[in-house]
Every structure is written in structure tokens, then in C-alpha cells.
Chains A and B, each alone.
Chain A
């Protein structure tokens, strides 16, 4: 079976090369790809990029693993990168075809999940923290107590993002542990804390960019870029990062093993490693990118935005979410299921 698959993949690769017409299939999160970026890329290279959307890492992984999906590039989150590599779904990059690879900022070059960036090129990164409408609560929001031990004003009003890994990591760090803990006693406390806090949440939902803008929801555990967009529409919205620890995420572009448009894909990967192009990505979805020197090309309102620039004293509290395995993953899914019943 496997041989058959490789043979077909090679065959398809050959035919694709023979008839390269300059197209590229990008599989990315919805509302995450700047149309200007694609227009500029097409103008410079003549390659037309078609974007197809997904709305969860798991859906994207399931589809690509099943095979035959026809995509060239995918943009998984950091904790999914090792899964793609381990399962052989992506190919190691030929760095000679990405001359601007060195533009990747030093702090994003040697990440645990892809040392030396041999498999992925940064797309955007961000943090998960607390979005708060100042008219609801004006106190300190740099703490997970806002959602785990909510003050009276916030109780019954706060939304929590339905992201299992983020929620579990933040709760574990609030109780003094590290994400993916295998400490049964600690994880029991995490479970009890979450079950105790849940009745004080109004919902566990996405779509908070508008809901915070429109005052439908006044407090939420959410992503920084989304809260930045909310603040632009509604000045009362502020963003805080829990000092007990907060997750940092990064999404990056990877080249699929069964990609048909490999040459085009390399051109795109090199293209987004240029600071002025990376800045276009950030200007659209309002998250930082991992390319050194892109700041000067960014819109003025992003350069010192409190949502984008992590305060010095909190920098050490940011934690990269890893892929939990074994017992740690068992704890997480069991707690998550119990939380959602």
C-alpha cells in the first residue's frame, strides 16, 4: 500500500512538473491570509495562489493524513509541527532554495519543535491572554484569577476560548505547574479548579473579535491579535497576560510530502521570509511574525501596540505550547471531556 502511495505521489509529482503553470495550493486558517500578499506574489512571480480554509488543526491534520487532498502548503500551529514531521506528511526544506531563510529572527530560528527551521517558515505568532472591557472591570488583568477565581464583576460574564491545550496549560500554570504535567495530584487540582470555575463563565466560544467590539461579551480568554482588532473598534477593550504563565503560539508554513507545485511553493516560502512581505501578513491579521526587520514595514498602530509587544516583566512567563503525549494527554482529554458535559 505504502509503495503504491509513493509511486502515485511520484507520478503525480512528475506530471505536475511537466505542466507547471504557476499555481500554488495553500491550506490555511480562515481569515488569516492577506489578499494583498497574494496579489503582490502573483504580480512578482506570475504564480496564482489558491487559498482553501480550515478552522481547526485537527481537521487539517485529518485531511492531510487521509491523503489526496491536493494541497502544497499547510500552516499548522507549533504543537502540531512535530506530528506532521513524525508522520512523514511534510518534507524537509531544501534551504538552498530559500535564500532569505536567514531573515528568520534569532529567537524564532531555534525553536524546540523545529531546531534550525528545517521544516517550517514562520507565519504569525501570538499569545493567549485576557481580553477585558474596562467598563466592566478596571482592576489588574495580568492574572488567570480573572477567569479561574473571577472577581464579582466578571463572574457570569466571561467567555473562555474553547481551545483545550490553551485552557489546560493556563490552568496548570495558575496552580504552579508546567503545561503537559504528568503529576496526578496537580492535575486533579486543575480539574477541580476548572469545574469550580466553569459555572462562572458565560460561554466557551470563538468569534470574540466582534463580540468584544460590540459589547456583547465584556471579558474573555482569547488571542492577542483578535483583541487588538477589537480595541481598534472599541477603545474600552484592553488585553492582559497572566503573570502565572501564558501560552505563546506560532503558526508556520510547511511543505507537504505530496505537494505537486514544489518549485512554486519554495518561491512562496522565500517570498514570505522578506520583511516587507511578512509585514503584510501581520498588517492583515494583526499578529506578530517571526521575520527580523519586518517591524519597520508594519502599520504605525502596530509598532507599540500593547497587545503585540509583550511587557518586559512578563516576557519570561510566556510558554510555548508543546505536544503533550502519553499520560499528560490522557489527563488533558479526560478533564476537557468532563468540563464540556
Chain B
């Protein structure tokens, strides 16, 4: 490239493209370094640990073993030493996926109208409404979960109101059920859906709606054909921000779920704690990581294609 005279558009384009690539990497570098040092890099330790032996009192012993990996699908019965399919892991994973999907769908269902409402306020009010969404989340997660507990517990607000209205005569058992975990997670993850949705809707050109209605589109058609495709990046960001953390949730299921039925996050924690099987915990984490990453890649690719053709 040194001092080469301009010799046609193709070379100039190539130079521009190279600059773009270099710029892309340079700008991303600080984030990548930080992540490599304090998030992603250390995870390699987990990959190594998944091939080691569990220590007697937790931790690992240095010796190669494939047990943790077979342990994900099969379990050796401690009593008769037979190998059988491990259904516990699968049912825990399925329960987690179900609850997280439900949470994502529900937060979207109520989060989209909320974000739309905020984005269509006059400019001056928008910041206020946005702050109103985030204020509850300046209060600690544990406290919020405990406050929800106050509402749904046996002698809590909800049951007192329902009994007062004569709708029920015995308190409903909500706390310690999947419903409680669902309520808690919806509450906790809602702003993670609303904020990215708002950021996308805020840039939406309302004149497009006018054009739509002028062409006699119904409200639903406008929503589906005009609004959704344009705010799709926000929908994708919001869904990822809710679904993935919900899948690994620990605090909310622990406080509201009662510990009788675990979610995958709690189960992995058990392996690193009282279960004293760090390699199995590591193998389970790597598996979960691979599944989620694969799902995310497929989702993003699929969503991008939709946007382009839509």
C-alpha cells in the first residue's frame, strides 16, 4: 500500500474495507480484553475441571477422568452399580427452559406496550417515564424478591385481599411454587425487556404509520408489517437479555421456589457446594453454555435474515 498510486476503484474499495475491519477490531479491543481477563478466559478453567476427578471435600483432584461428562446423561447407581439414564438432569433443564421462555414471552407481552407508551410521550416526559421504569431496579434484587414474598405469602397482601373479598376462604399456596418463581422472574427481568425496546421504538419514524393507515392497513397489520420489523433489533436484544439470565437464575428461584425443585442454576450451584462434585458442575455449565450459544447464533442469523427480507 505504501505510496501506491490510485489504480482503480477495486483497490480503493479494498483499502476502505481493510480500514473498516481494522477499525472494528480496534474499537472492540478494550471490551474484548476486559472480557478475556475477567469473564470468558477464566471459563477455560471450567473446561479443564470438567475432565478432572472430584475431590473428597469439594474442589478437584488432578487426574484425568471422563466421568463428569458421562455423568450428565448417565448415572451409576450407588447401590447396584448399574448404569442408567439420568433423567433428573433433563427434567431440571426442561423446567428451567420452560420457565424462562414463559418469562420472556410475558415480559415482552407487557413490556412492548409499556415501551411504546414511553416512546410516544412528548420528548420532555420521556426521561421521566424511563426513570420510573428503572427506579424499582435501583433497589436490590434480594430486597425486591423479599418484597414480592411479602405480597404472595400465606398471610400476605394478596391472600388478605382475596379472603377479604370473600373469593377464597383458605390462603392460596403461591409461595414455593413455580408460579411464584414465574412472578418473581417477570418482575425482576421486566426492565431488561423494556429498555432495549424503548431504545428501538424511540427511533421509529411515526410517519411510517401515517403511510400505513393511508394505504388502509388495519391496526394489526400496521403493528405486524411496519412496527415489528423496524423495532426487531430491540426485540432481539430484549429477549436475549431476559431469556438467558432467567435460564441461569439463582436468587429468585432460591427465595421464592422453596428449594424443593431446582432450576439449572441452583443445581449447578449444588455441585460446587454441598454436592461436592465440581467436575460435574463444570461439565453441566459447559453443556449449558454450548446449548445457549448455539441457540443464540441460530436465532441471530434467523432474525437477521428476516429483517433483510422483511
Q: Which residues of B contact A165 (CB under 8 A)?
A: 274
- Whether A62 and B58, one on each chain, are in contact in the complex, defined by CB atoms closer than 8 angstroms, is yes
Take A58-B276, A341-B262 as given contacts and tell me if A330 and B78 are in contact as well, using a CB distance cutoff of 8 Å: yes
- Whether B56 and A338, one on each chain, are in contact in the complex, defined by CB atoms closer than 8 angstroms, is no
Distance to closest chain A CB from B15 (angstroms)? 50
A83 contacts the other chain (CB 8 A): yes
Across the interface, name the chain A residue whose C-beta is closest to B87: A341
- Whether A65 and B275, one on each chain, are in contact in the complex, defined by CB atoms closer than 8 angstroms, is no
Across the interface, name the chain B residue whose C-beta is closest to A323: B57
Q: Which residues of A contact B298 (CB under 8 A)?
A: none
A6 contacts the other chain (CB 8 A): no
Among the 9-residue stretches A33-41, A195-203, A262-270, the one with 4 or more Cβ atoms under 8 Å from chain B is A195-203
Residues 142-166 of chain B: 1 if any A CB is under 8 Å from the residue's CB, otherwise 0? 0000000000011100000000000
- Whether B270 and A340, one on each chain, are in contact in the complex, defined by CB atoms closer than 8 angstroms, is yes
- Whether B79 and A58, one on each chain, are in contact in the complex, defined by CB atoms closer than 8 angstroms, is no
A20 contacts the other chain (CB 8 A): no
- Whether B59 and A333, one on each chain, are in contact in the complex, defined by CB atoms closer than 8 angstroms, is no
Q: Using a CB-CB cutoff of 8 Å, which residues 53-70 of chain B contact chain A?
A: 56-59
- Whether A184 and B276, one on each chain, are in contact in the complex, defined by CB atoms closer than 8 angstroms, is no
- Whether B78 and A58, one on each chain, are in contact in the complex, defined by CB atoms closer than 8 angstroms, is no
Most buried by B among A65, A217, A338, A340: A340
Across the interface, name the chain A residue whose C-beta is closest to B171: A216
- Whether A341 and B79, one on each chain, are in contact in the complex, defined by CB atoms closer than 8 angstroms, is no
- Whether B259 and A216, one on each chain, are in contact in the complex, defined by CB atoms closer than 8 angstroms, is no
Number of A-B contacts (CB under 8 A): 85
Take A62-B58, A62-B59, A216-B155 as given contacts and tell me if A333 and B260 are in contact as well, using a CB distance cutoff of 8 Å: no
- Whether B176 and A333, one on each chain, are in contact in the complex, defined by CB atoms closer than 8 angstroms, is no
CA distance A323 to B57 in the complex (A): 9
- Whether A83 and B57, one on each chain, are in contact in the complex, defined by CB atoms closer than 8 angstroms, is yes
- Whether A164 and B153, one on each chain, are in contact in the complex, defined by CB atoms closer than 8 angstroms, is no
Q: Which residues of B contact A184 (CB under 8 A)?
A: 79
Residues 198-212 of chain B: 1 if any A CB is under 8 Å from the residue's CB, otherwise 0? 000000000000000
CA distance A59 to B273 in the complex (A): 7
Q: Which residues of B contact A337 (CB under 8 A)?
A: 88, 270, 275
Q: Which residues of B contact A204 (CB under 8 A)?
A: 258-260
Across the interface, name the chain A residue whose C-beta is closest to B92: A341
Distance to closest chain B CB from A239 (angstroms)? 21
B267 contacts the other chain (CB 8 A): yes
- Whether A216 and B175, one on each chain, are in contact in the complex, defined by CB atoms closer than 8 angstroms, is yes
- The answer, among A61, A203, A336, for a CB contact under 8 Å with B176, is A203
- Whether A215 and B273, one on each chain, are in contact in the complex, defined by CB atoms closer than 8 angstroms, is no
Q: Which residues of B contact A58 (CB under 8 A)?
A: 58, 272-274, 276
- Whether B276 and A203, one on each chain, are in contact in the complex, defined by CB atoms closer than 8 angstroms, is no
Across the interface, name the chain A residue whose C-beta is closest to B258: A203
Q: Using a CB-CB cutoff of 8 Å, which residues 209-262 of chain B contact chain A?
A: 255, 258-262
CA distance A188 to B273 in the complex (A): 24
A222 contacts the other chain (CB 8 A): no
CA distance A201 to B78 in the complex (A): 25
Q: Which residues of B contact A162 (CB under 8 A)?
A: 259
CA distance A306 to B89 in the complex (A): 43
- Whether A334 and B78, one on each chain, are in contact in the complex, defined by CB atoms closer than 8 angstroms, is yes
Q: Give A contacts to B, CB under 8 Å.
A: 56, 58-59, 61-62, 65, 83, 87, 159, 162-165, 184, 187-188, 198, 201-205, 207, 211, 214-217, 323, 325-326, 329-331, 333-334, 336-338, 340-341
The 9 sampled A-B contact pairs (Cβ below 8 Å) are: A58-B273, A187-B78, A187-B79, A201-B260, A202-B173, A202-B258, A203-B259, A333-B277, A341-B261
